Amino acid sequence: MTADDFQQCLPLLITGISGVAGYNAFHYFQRRYPGQVIGTRARQTFRLLGPGIVALDAEDLNALRGLFRRYRFRSVLNCVGNCALKSCELDPAMARKLNVASAWAIVQVAKEFRARLVHLSSDLVFSGSGHGQYVETDPVDPVTVYGKTMVEAEALVRGEAPRAAILRISLPMGPSFNRHAGAIDWIGSRFRHGRPATLYFDEVRSCTYCDDLNRVFERFLAGDESGLYHLGGPRPNTLYQIAQIVNRVGGYDPDLLRGCLRHQAGPVPPRAGNVTMNSDKLIRLLGQQPFRPWPAEPELWPPDRQWHYRRPAEEHGSFQQIVERLYRCPLRAESRTAGLSTATIAQ
């Protein structure tokens, strides 16, 4: 898609840029369409600053309406959502405000200003009690407050904005703005500070590079498809395998990684099982598979639970290796920066 093809979607509003998906999408679209992309972050996220970033709580309808009046957005990518599972379990009212009330406010202003709406949801609308590979018509059965509020938000968007696209994503693999959110950075921050991390052998996700997700978001913003689509990557990964990869590529102490089954981790928060998603509907729409496996290099996929201990003498893990091999897809050279320099990420 060329920049000219996307002009009908501009200006673009991206909400929830403190999350990994929103943060990476914001920088991607800013790089491609400079001066025409605004991102919002919660007021309490005061360290996230920069051109085009607005402090605004997404559930604040009047503030959103004022922002729309100022910029006259023609499209919205809604990435708002609190996916901190334990926080949502302990404070369901907070979870509902951030995951449902915010969606309601965004839908209202998008309808009022006739803006194209693309809404992000989650694979955790499923329990993962079966064999995974969920399709869009499978019934939802979340086990967490987070998942339940995401189901509620999906129903709200479908009912209030039937022309909107709802995209369920899994773990978006890219940098976070504070270097300790999201799958890669949370695990890496534990290891970096010499702290152990316990991950699960039996929670399975459909990881995707943010580079690839951004191009799919762009396609949906410019299109008119409505309804539900799964955006799951082609290679399932357990949370333990993800931690193995981060541990070895980052050159961290392998003894810091610990694993267990979900039922051994305690009751709060409850954990989903195999919530991998089947993306055939998306592939049929696009005419191709838009996602590379994560990680893209086959040699970085752990075949057993001791893999991260086996390190060739010539292998030197580092944070720079995480940036080049896990944040980004090294097999897709044209998207290596995606609007984020290594210096920016390392700050």
Please provide the DSSP assignment of 138-179 as one string.
Answer: SPP---SHHHHHHHHHHHHHHHH-TTSEEEEE--EES--TTS
Q: Does any domain span residue 66?
A: yes
Q: What is the pLDDT of residues 307-336, one digit of tens each?
A: 999 999 888 999 999 999 999 987 654 443
Burial class (CB within 10 angstroms; exposed 0-12, middle 13-18, buried 19+) of 176: buried
pTM of the model: 0.92
Q: Return d(Cα 100, Cα 157) in angstroms, integer.
A: 10
Q: What is the pLDDT of residues 26-39, one digit of tens each?
A: 999 999 999 999 99
**Which amino acid is it at 179?**
R
pLDDT at 89: 87
User: CB neighbours (10 Å) of residue 141?
Assistant: 15
- Residue 36: C-alpha distances to residues 11, 13, 23, 31, 272 (Å): 5, 9, 16, 10, 39
Q: Return d(Cα 340, Cα 324) in angstroms, integer.
A: 12
Number of domains in the chain: 1
Q: Does any domain span residue 48?
A: yes
Q: What is the pLDDT of residues 5-28, one digit of tens each?
A: 799 999 999 999 999 999 999 999
CATH number assigned to the domain comprising residue 334: 3.40.50.720
Using DSSP's 3-state secondary structure scheme, residue 98 falls into: helix
The total number of residues written for the chain in this structure: 347
- Residue 23 near residue 30, CB atoms below 8 Å: no
> Bridge-partner residues for 34, per DSSP?
none
Mean residue pLDDT of the chain comes to: 92
pLDDT of 71 above 70 = yes
When pLDDT is averaged across residues 74-82 and rounded to a whole number, the result is: 93
Q: How confident is the model at residue 102 (pLDDT cuts 50, 70, 90)?
A: very high
Q: Does any domain span residue 1?
A: no
pLDDT of 83 above 90 = no
Query: Which tokens go with 283?
Result: 């592939």
Report which of 251, 253, 246, 256 is spatially closest to residue 313, judged by C-alpha positions.
Answer: 251
Q: Does any domain span residue 122?
A: yes
Q: Does any domain span residue 139?
A: yes
Q: Does any domain span residue 38?
A: yes
User: CB neighbours (10 Å) of residue 137?
Assistant: 7
- Residue 341 near residue 31, CB atoms below 8 Å: no
Q: Does any domain span residue 195?
A: yes
Report which of 278, 292, 295 is spatially closest to residue 241, judged by C-alpha positions.
Answer: 295
Q: Which structural domain, as residue segments, surrounds residue 47? A: 7-346
Over 47-91, what HEC string results? Answer: CCCCCCEEECCCCCHHHHHHHHHHHCCCEEEECCCCCCHHHHHHC
Q: Does any domain span residue 2?
A: no
